[in-house]
Amino acid sequence: MNVTVRKIGNSEGIIIPKEVLDRLGVRAGDTLELKEEAGALTMRPSDEDFQRQLAAAELLMEKYKVALKKLAE
């Protein structure tokens, strides 16, 4: 399936066909994870709970960086 990159305000974007959105269970306002691998882009619905948990874990690891480093020895 081909899509065209279009000017959207000061940015550029693509229009995702409704059929694709329906298959993915995605609608306006949902978050997608975008990855670039070997010159290709992949998108998938983002797991917002996981992202929130990951952010909390990163804060915790930063706060206890010294203790975690000592425990790893």
pTM of the model: 0.53
Give CA–CA dist 41/61, Å, rounded.
30
Provide the 3-class DSSP secondary structure of residue 20: helix
Instruction: Give the CATH number for residue 10.
Output: 2.10.260.10
Number of folded domains that form the chain: 1
pLDDT given for residue 35 in this prediction: 93
Express each pLDDT in 8-33 by its tens digit.
999 999 999 999 889 888 888 888 88
Express each pLDDT in 27-67 by its tens digit.
888 888 899 999 999 988 887 777 778 888 999 999 999 99
pLDDT given for residue 44 in this prediction: 85
pLDDT given for residue 10 in this prediction: 95
- Residue 1 domain flag: no
| Domain with 66 in it | 6-72
For the chain, helix, strand, coil in percent to 5 are 40, 25, 35
- Residue 55 domain flag: yes
Give CA–CA dist 71/25, Å, rounded.
43
